């Protein structure tokens, strides 16, 4: 039992798990029920509505992953992030990113990780990036980092001073469900952090300081209706803790990395893939985030999305690194897909901004 | 027959196939079924909890499978789910016990 607990506190990489290798994940996603014809390949499915090959629309979002280090080891994490991950974006790569941020046509800059705040150059980077005049500047904060160490206590104020849009994970409004997915004690720390963000003005009604929450299911099932979930979250968090926030993004867990590992270990993999395929919604394909996003990894490589980044599927373009970034050439590419993509097209669809189907 | 069991979890996915042998009635049923679970005077959430409770009183494994997942997807908590089942169980046991009055009536009539 103790051994099992310790294992859960380590990334798949640290455990030298088979699934720490991207190719092993891709093999799993192409074999079995997808190889024997039980379920259609994603490419076959999108052919039905003439979306193959999938191509980008206008670039709107630059998502930068500044490192895989995190203070948490969430069971569903597609990044396989954790305290033992050492991949961190250097200042040199950040400078290359800044050059791109200053010249991009994208209206949204989205910093993610790991816990992006753990990158030693995070504050410098935010400071510089905020001068570029991007309309929407998002930092994906896991909340607990704000209470993890004294040096992070002033993050709400720092975010406010840079007019950062905070997007935070909160799997449920109850302690049990949250801690099961994200680790013991996470719920209480998250509540405290949300209250501190509220105290700075974040998430308050009529406030321009945006605070949105991300809900993703704590298990092998799909998210419910985003609007209904938002109503319930708002009611419960206000009633129980006096917490306000703006919007809730309901995000589907994609069968990648630790969530894939969980699905296989709990013998839910096949059922889950069936659920995703059965819930396939062609309307969501039109708006999948890979069509308006470029994802940049800690070492400066370019991907169609954060999931493809974790699967090491670089963009299919002669431009593959931030140092040679060219938006026009990049936008003329075919998006790389596999069966994990069903996660973004199920039901109301899913993206880092929540549901996507019109 | 691929299975040696009366109930096979994989059969739940084949529920829609019942239309193959009677399309008109099958379609009518699924139209009706879908309509019932839409938001109405009751919320979809309330209907999901009712469905979960009835799944248990009907002791239908397919329904329990489907509506456990459905309620989880709606963010409904384990405590709410269990309370809903108790409502079903209370009605079931109450329905048994209230027949005790029938038994008592009969005894009173037969005994001197």
3-state secondary structure A63-94: EEECECECCCCCCCCCCCCECCCCCECCHHHH
pLDDT tops 70 at residue A295: yes
What per-residue confidence (pLDDT) applies to A245?
98
- Grade residue A339 by pLDDT with cuts at 50, 70 and 90: very high
When the pLDDT of each residue in chain A is averaged and rounded to a whole number, the result is 95
Do B77 and A174 count as a contact with CB atoms less than 8 A apart?
yes
Burial (CB count <10 Å: 0-12, 13-18, 19+), residue B112: exposed
Q: What percent of chain A has pLDDT over 70?
A: 98
Chain-chain contact of A228 with B73 (C-beta, under 8 angstroms): no
pLDDT band at residue A189, thresholds of 50, 70 and 90?
A: very high
- C-alpha distance from B9 to closest chain A C-alpha (Å): 10
Cis peptide before A53 (omega within 30 of 0): yes
Window 158-197 of A, Cβ < 8 Å to B: 172-174, 176-177
- Identify the DSSP state of B17: G
pTM, two decimal places? 0.91
**Do the strands A211-215 and A293-296 form a parallel or antiparallel pair, or are they unpaired?**
unpaired
Question: Chain B interface residues facing chain A, Cβ-Cβ under 8 Å?
Answer: 13, 43-45, 69, 72-75, 77-78
Question: Would you state the pLDDT for residue B90?
Answer: 98
Q: Would you tell me which residues 261-300 of chain A have a C-beta closer than 8 angstroms to some C-beta of chain B?
A: 274, 278
Task: With cut-offs at 50, 70 and 90, classify the pLDDT of residue A5.
Answer: low
User: In the prediction, which pLDDT does B28 show?
Assistant: 98
Give the lowest-confidence range in A160-164, A271-275, A351-355, B96-100. Answer: A351-355
pLDDT of A271 > 70? The answer is yes
Distance from CA of B81 to the nearest CA of A (A): 14
Residue A195 has pLDDT above 80, yes or no: yes
Cα atoms in the Cβ-side hemisphere of radius 13 Å centred on B53: 20
- B12: buried, middle or exposed (CB in 10 Å: 19+, 13-18, 0-12)? middle
Closest CA to A251 of A175, A145, A356: A356
The confidence score (pLDDT) of residue A330 equals 95
B74, B75, B81: best to mutate for the A interface, most A CBs within 10 A: B75
Q: A-chain residues within 8 Å CB-CB of B42?
A: none
pLDDT at A133: 87
Mean predicted confidence (pLDDT) in A34-53: 96
State the pLDDT at residue A180. 82
> For residue A168, what pLDDT is reported?
96
Q: What is the pLDDT of residue A4?
A: 65
Q: Which residue of B has its CA nearest to A233?
A: B75
Q: How confident is the model at residue A1 (pLDDT cuts 50, 70, 90)?
A: low
The more confident residue out of A135 and A358 is: A135
Mean of per-residue pLDDT scores for chain B: 95
Closest-CA residue of A relative to B16 is A278
CA closest to B69 among chain A residues: A221
Coil vs helix vs strand at A194: helix
**DSSP track, A278-320:** HTB-HHHHTT-GGGTEEEE-TTSBEESSHHHHHTT-B-BSS--
| A18: CB partners within 8 A, 6+ apart | A24
CB contact under 8 A, B72 and A228: no
Spell out, as residue ranges, where chain B has pLDDT lower than 70: 1-2
- Which distant-in-sequence residues (6+ apart) come within 8 Å of A69 by Cβ? A81, A82, A83, A85, A86, A87, A88, A113, A114, A115, A118, A119
- Between strands A293-296 and A302-303, the pairing is antiparallel
């Amino acid at each position: 039992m103790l051994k099992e607990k310790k294992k859960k506190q380590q990334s798949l990489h640290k455990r030298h798990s088979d699934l720490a290798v991207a190719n092993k994940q891709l093999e799993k996603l192409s074999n079995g029920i997808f190889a024997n014809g039980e379920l259609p390949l994603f490419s076959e499915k999108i052919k039905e509505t003439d979306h193959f090959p999938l191509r980008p629309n206008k670039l709107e979002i630059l998502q930068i992953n500044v490192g895989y280090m995190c203070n948490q080891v969430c069971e569903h994490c597609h990044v396989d992030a954790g305290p033992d991950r050492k991949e961190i974006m250097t200042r040199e790569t950040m400078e290359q990113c800044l050059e791109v941020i200053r010249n991009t046509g994208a209206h949204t800059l989205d910093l993610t990780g790991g816990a992006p705040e753990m990158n030693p150059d995070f504050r410098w980077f935010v400071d510089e990036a905020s001068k570029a005049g991007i309309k929407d500047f998002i930092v994906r904060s896991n909340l607990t980092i704000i209470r993890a160490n004294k040096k992070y206590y002033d993050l709400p104020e720092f975010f406010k001073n840079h007019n950062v849009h905070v997007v935070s994970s909160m799997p449920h409004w109850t302690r049990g469900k949250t801690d099961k997915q994200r680790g013991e004690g996470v719920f209480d720390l998250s509540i405290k952090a949300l209250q501190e963000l509220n105290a700075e003005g974040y998430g308050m009604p009529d406030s321009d300081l945006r605070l949105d929450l991300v809900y993703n299911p704590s298990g092998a099932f799909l998210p419910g209706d985003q609007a209904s979930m938002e109503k319930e979250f708002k009611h419960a968090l206000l009633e129980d803790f006096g917490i306000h926030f703006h919007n809730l993004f309901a995000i589907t867990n994609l069968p990648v990395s630790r969530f894939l590992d969980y699905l296989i270990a709990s013998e839910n993999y096949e059922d889950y893939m069936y659920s995703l395929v059965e819930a396939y919604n062609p309307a969501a394909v039109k708006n999948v985030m890979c069509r308006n996003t470029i994802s940049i990894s800690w070492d400066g490589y370019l991907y169609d999305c954060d999931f493809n980044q974790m699967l090491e599927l670089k963009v299919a373009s002669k431009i593959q690194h931030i140092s040679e970034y060219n938006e026009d050439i990049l936008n003329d590419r075919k998006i790389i897909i596999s069966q994990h993509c069903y996660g973004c097209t199920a039901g109301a669809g899913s993206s880092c901004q929540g549901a996507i189907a019109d | 027959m691929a299975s040696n069991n009366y109930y096979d979890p994989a059969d739940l996915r084949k529920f829609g196939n019942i239309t193959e042998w009677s399309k008109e009635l099958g379609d009518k049923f699924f139209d009706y079924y879908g309509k019932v679970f839409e938001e109405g005077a009751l919320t979809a959430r309330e209907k999901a909890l009712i469905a979960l409770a009835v799944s248990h009183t009907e002791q239908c494994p397919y329904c329990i499978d489907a509506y456990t997942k459905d309620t989880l997807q709606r963010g409904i908590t384990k405590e709410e789910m269990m309370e809903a089942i108790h409502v079903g169980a209370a009605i079931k046991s109450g329905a048994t016990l209230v027949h005790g009055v029938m038994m008592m009536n009969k005894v009173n009539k037969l005994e001197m």
